[in-house]
Structure 1
Amino acid sequence: MPLVSTRELVSGASARQSSGRSHGVAAFNVITLEHAEAIAAGAERVGLAAIMQVSENAVKFHGGRLTAIAAGAAAVARASGAPLALHLDHVESPDLLRAADGEGFSSVMFDASRLTYAGNVAATAEAVAWGHARGIWVEAELGKVGGKDGEPPPGAHTPGVRTDPAEAVAYVRATGVDALAVAVGSSHAMTDRTAALDHELIRALRRAVPVPLVLHGSSGVPDAEIRRAVAAGMVKINVGTALNTAFTGAVRRTLEADPRMVDPRKYLVPAREAMTGTVAAFLKVIAGEA
């Protein structure tokens, strides 16, 4: 089916939450074509919508060229029977931000979280103005989720780590963002699902902030914590490392069982299937169906 927009999926999930239903929308990272195929297959398996997102780091992996991985993910999405959107994630480069236009992306997460608060506001407001002029939905981050590019997760009580509700209100007003990624206890690149979220803070942010909230680093968050986070007001739930864990585990098991194997199709098939199962499981939890 045709690509749907991230705005449509997030707005739909927000509307369901407003009507009293615990429902979020899942966004999964695409690194290879197998990732995109697994996301589409997992969404089809459980009959739910999903967002495919390509990060700036994934673009770097592909030699800094966005077009091929974007076109591949978009083609997989259009061939799928599930409603799928295409999102460009954790963009720090202004050049990459501008490359999103015309590549099938309906949304971008512009990440200026490494800057000072004032610098973050200024850079994000400029990105939002650019995106809105082209009909592109823009997400941004306030606080410090941590774990990106191999950096250690920040301490829970480190100043500036957790997102402050009052500051978040001012940030949204000053930048005009469509959604806000907040720091509430998760961290990127976790391979163990042991993160404990600050649910009181999530509820406070939901009451204060007028745009949908986004949870990054959800691979390290247990199912029960994800359910509570969605019930408290988290809308878009990002999952990346969990797919890589499933992929790599399946490849490792397959090659250990047959060390002479050289045909990549023989180990990529179980790897893709492992990711498909992971996608389906997260989708059901995030949508409140498991």
Structure 2
Amino acid sequence: MLCRSADLIAEARASGSGLAAFNVITLEHVQAVADAARRTGRPAIVQISQNAVRHHGGDVMPLAAATTAAAGRADVRLALHLDHVEDVALLHRTAECGASSVMFDASRLPDDENIAATREAVRWAHGRGLFVEAELGEIGGKGSAHTPGARTDPRDAARFVAETGVDALAVAVGSSHAMVSRTAALDLALIARIRDEVPVPLVLHGSSGVPHGTLRAAVAHGMTKINIGTLLNISFTRSVRATLAESPDLVDPRRYLAPARDAMTDAVTDCLTALGPPDAR
């Protein structure tokens, strides 16, 4: 069933488990997340980024419709989320496309402008019952939540949440986007300090580069929503390359998309299992 992100996040936070949120680009991505959720019995968030929307000609509806259709199967609990939305016009399509949450990203703006823009996005979204995630910008030159080497100051985080009213906060604790090797080391003590200062759930971006054991430790120290994207793309691309190398004359895309979808399903299954409640692993 199609669920609300807020409910899945609250459930994960209360149970001490991590809630995996997977960025999707193609129909096969959506199917892989749904199949893995069904296989494991674990809920998941399907995320459509502004970049993915741009790839599809600026229209969020096709992927969103695929997600809501997949969630319509009674044995799957999925929520739809719009990720890294900078365009206010796309923000305003959140509820229309079936999403119950949005990550509004004004982190490129100076701190005061980021706070003002995020506060307005929250005001608009809360008026429509939507859950809002955001992140700090380049405060004091430290970079945003997905800049390599950046670290979030707990006091800055607490001030940002208080002044914007966001429902979840993406923080910089050692991960970064688009990592193709699982070698990121997280600052677990910093996660715990932020958790103690910030009253809303914490979000880890760039989780594809973090080993499962470290992700579990991050959840134990206070992280709730775990964003994963590149890991799916690695599985997808590796499978397509292998299939085409074995059959260089192949022209039917179904012949290489099906195993690529299966590879992503296995990757998502692995993540969902690793992030489940400790007594369920």
Using structure 2 for the length normalisation, give the TM-score.
0.95
Distance apart, 1:80 and its partner CA: 5.6
Secondary structure (helix, strand or coil) at the match of 2:117 reads helix
1:32-47 maps to which residues of 2 (within 5 A)? 32-47=26-41
Which of 45, 68, 80 is the aligned partner of 1:86?
A: 80
Contact map agreement 1:40 1:80 (CA 8 A) in 2: no
What residue identity is the alignment partner of 1:25?
Answer: L
Question: What is the aligned partner in structure 2 of residue 15 from structure 1?
Answer: 14
Secondary structure (helix, strand or coil) at the match of 1:238 reads strand
Please tell me whether residue 221 in structure 1 is matched to residue 210 in structure 2: yes
What residue identity is the alignment partner of 2:105?
Answer: D
Question: What is the aligned partner in structure 2 of residue 191 from structure 1?
Answer: 180
1:218-257 maps to which residues of 2 (within 5 A)? 218-257=207-246
Distance apart, 1:73 and its partner CA: 1.6
**1:74-94 Cα shifts (integer Å, max 9, x gaps):** 111213622100000000001
**1:99-142 Cα shifts (integer Å, max 9, x gaps):** 11211000000011111111110010000000000001000012
What residue identity is the alignment partner of 1:11?
Answer: A
Question: What is the aligned partner in structure 2 of residue 149 from structure 1?
Answer: none
Question: What is the aligned partner in structure 1 of residue 261 from structure 2?
Answer: 272
What residue identity is the alignment partner of 1:124?
Answer: T
Q: Counterparts of 2:73 and 2:23 in 1: how far apart (Å)?
A: 18
Question: What is the aligned partner in structure 1 of residue 62 from structure 2?
Answer: 68
Secondary structure (helix, strand or coil) at the match of 1:88 reads strand
Which of 122, 141, 155 is the aligned partner of 2:135?
A: 141
Which of 165, 178, 190 is the aligned partner of 2:167?
A: 178
1:118-129 maps to which residues of 2 (within 5 A)? 118-129=112-123
Q: Counterparts of 1:192 and 1:238 in 2: how far apart (Å)?
A: 16
Question: What is the aligned partner in structure 1 of residue 140 from structure 2?
Answer: none
| Structure 1: tracts of 5 or more residues without a match | 18-22, 147-152
Please tell me whether residue 286 in structure 1 is matched to residue 275 in structure 2: yes
Aligned pairs, number: 273
Q: Counterparts of 2:251 and 2:85 in 1: how far apart (Å)?
A: 36
Question: What is the aligned partner in structure 2 of residue 105 from structure 1?
Answer: 99
Contact map agreement 1:185 1:196 (CA 8 A) in 2: yes
Question: What is the aligned partner in structure 2 of residue 150 from structure 1?
Answer: none
1:44-55 maps to which residues of 2 (within 5 A)? 44-55=38-49
Question: What is the aligned partner in structure 1 of residue 193 from structure 2?
Answer: 204
- Computed over aligned residues only, the root mean square deviation of the Cα atoms, in angstroms, reads 1.1
Distance apart, 1:272 and its partner CA: 0.3
Distance apart, 1:229 and its partner CA: 0.2
Question: What is the aligned partner in structure 2 of residue 20 from structure 1?
Answer: none
**1:202-260 Cα shifts (integer Å, max 9, x gaps):** 00001110000000000000111101100101000000000000000000000100001
Contact map agreement 1:250 1:271 (CA 8 A) in 2: yes
Secondary structure (helix, strand or coil) at the match of 1:81 reads coil
What residue identity is the alignment partner of 2:41?
Answer: G
Question: What is the aligned partner in structure 1 of residue 153 from structure 2?
Answer: 164
Using structure 1 for the length normalisation, give the TM-score.
0.92
Pick which of 210-219 and 98-107 moved more: 98-107
Q: Counterparts of 2:116 and 2:38 in 1: how far apart (Å)?
A: 40
Q: Counterparts of 1:27 and 1:187 in 2: how far apart (Å)?
A: 16
* Residue identity (%): 56
What residue identity is the alignment partner of 2:255?
Answer: K
